[in-house]
Structure 1
Amino acid sequence: MHLPTLLFSLLLPLLTLSTPTPQRLPPTPVSPPPSAVSVIGTPIVDTSGSGCRPGTVGVAFSSNNTIFTFIFDDFQAAIGPKAGEYSKRALCKVNVTIASPGWAFDVESVDFRGFVGLDKGVDASLVSRWKWVDVKSGVDIKGKGNIQKKLSGPFEDDFLIHKDGEVSDTQQVDCAKESARFQITISASLEAADAMVNGFVKGDSVDAKFAEMLNLKWRKC
């Protein structure tokens, strides 16, 4: 064996031991946009739903842009002799256009709150869905999510539903949402065992409003 080859063979184990194993560093946390994020115009309410009317939905970002809140002033469903003018199913669909140049957000988690009062024999189903829609094509963008909750009477109390979102794993998917339209839908359905029992779904006992709070994860695009 030639001398250089012999020396390399003797040094190879030492070189292997001394070479550090590469480690994958955790992703660097991204702070929310430092400048104000704004909603362009007023929320567009789909009037085909029975749960809200134009002018009855408010939207706002928190001061540090980590929470996006929807407030529904006139969302209510009712069933039974005391239902009055309300239907046993309420639906509200809202479209929002957001200005956040160079930034896009995903939904890390959602908190959905309101008030439910159910006699024995009445069931309530609560659903909320959110998604992004490409403005030009009208096609949904990956990353949508939903909350679903069923309650049975007797029950009368505020409720809070929490769920983690479906966070996108690539910058390409996240940044496609920068110029997309954000859409949120809430619905409440009531079913009764007979015509003499009552049930209702409405805003909570604190401020008589339905609210949905989305906790955001931002990405620089």
Structure 2
Amino acid sequence: MLTILPFLALAATALAAPAAEQPAPALTVPAAPPSAPPAATSSSVPNPSQVTINSISYGGTGCPQGSVGSFISADRLTFTLIFDSFVASIGPGVPVTASRINCQLNINLQYPSGFQYSVLGTDFRGYAGLDAGITGVQSANYYFSGSQAQAATSTTFKGPMSGDYLISDKIPFTSTIWSPCGAALPLNVNSQVRLTSSKSAASGLMTQDSIDGKVTFVVGVQWQAWQSINCFLDSVDCFARPDKGGGLWWTWQCCKDRLSGWSLRGGL
């Protein structure tokens, strides 16, 4: 996913909670297991009117101050960031520093207590013009402030190629990260594009979309509710969600002090 992108968009999508007829199995720890999350109802996701972006800060060679715009959709489930300067290039006479660009985003999303969200994947649109011998790598890292857990995506382009591109990255379920329960901490997105060359005379460019001069970068997020139970004999905030495997396995995550946490797995 080359990011000679000048347009970043983040889209939030609600995730339906698992049906109640698939109860979570008991944990083999001294804790009273909570009941399974409810079936998909209006309480499965935040009230759209209560989800909004408080602030967005950014910095990097691909997004100098004043070069990024943003908006949130009417249903408040999609927000878009628009870049004007996310362009990488390489070739004779081009400064070495132009071959690698990045943008660090800090997104403060406000939403009701009792919910968490996670990054599902990204969509990149743009234009890539690469001579033979030019390789471009677009990568993105996602993490929440105060958390060491990260999710990452990466795509490689090899020349010769010329044209628009649309690529969708999906973050594996096992790599999904969740915002801390009980605290609405910022989501950080570090996107980078790097061009390299194996031929001294070759050139390459990752730039704006050929239609609107922008590039969109869409991040999907999913929601889940969490509840308080007694875990390890301490009262902490926990949630249960179906793990990969059709609901037969569940992951229980207990967030001590509402910021740090651990996960336990139990299943049938």
- Output the TM-score relative to the length of structure 2: 0.61
Checking the alignment, whether the CA contact within 8 Å between 1:76 and 1:86 is kept in structure 2 is: no
Matched, 1:34 2:32: no
| Deviation of 1:154 (Å) | 0.9
| Deviation of 1:182 (Å) | 0.9
1:211–1:169: structure 2 CA closer, same or farther, 3 Å change rule?
Answer: closer
Q: What code does the residue aligned with 1:193 have?
A: S
| Deviation of 1:112 (Å) | 2.0
Equivalent in the alignment of 2:153:
147
Root mean square deviation of aligned Cα: 3.0
Checking the alignment, whether the CA contact within 8 Å between 1:116 and 1:156 is kept in structure 2 is: yes
- Which residues in structure 2 correspond to 1:126-137 (within 5 Å)? 126-134=138-146
Checking the alignment, whether the CA contact within 8 Å between 2:45 and 2:225 is kept in structure 1 is: no
1:177–1:195: structure 2 CA closer, same or farther, 3 Å change rule?
Answer: farther
Matched, 1:73 2:71: no
Alignment equivalent of 2:125, drawn from 96, 113, 126? 113
Question: Which of the pair has more CA radius of gyration?
Answer: 1
Checking the alignment, whether the CA contact within 8 Å between 1:168 and 1:174 is kept in structure 2 is: no
Equivalent in the alignment of 2:3:
none
Structure 2 CA distance, aligned partners of 1:115 and 1:179? 35
Identity %, equivalent residues = 26
Q: Deviations over 1:76-117 (max 9, x none)?
A: 110113747970111111112121132432222321222211
In structure 2, runs of 5+ residues without a counterpart are 1-20, 24-35, 227-268
Structure 1 CA distance, aligned partners of 2:174 and 2:81? 22
In structure 1, runs of 5+ residues without a counterpart are 1-22
Aligned length: 189
Checking the alignment, whether the CA contact within 8 Å between 1:73 and 1:210 is kept in structure 2 is: no
Matched, 1:188 2:202: no
- Output the TM-score relative to the length of structure 1: 0.72
Matched, 1:45 2:58: yes
Q: Deviations over 1:107-130 (max 9, x none)?
A: 223212222110111111111222
1:129–1:169: structure 2 CA closer, same or farther, 3 Å change rule?
Answer: closer
Checking the alignment, whether the CA contact within 8 Å between 2:90 and 2:96 is kept in structure 1 is: no
Matched, 1:56 2:67: yes
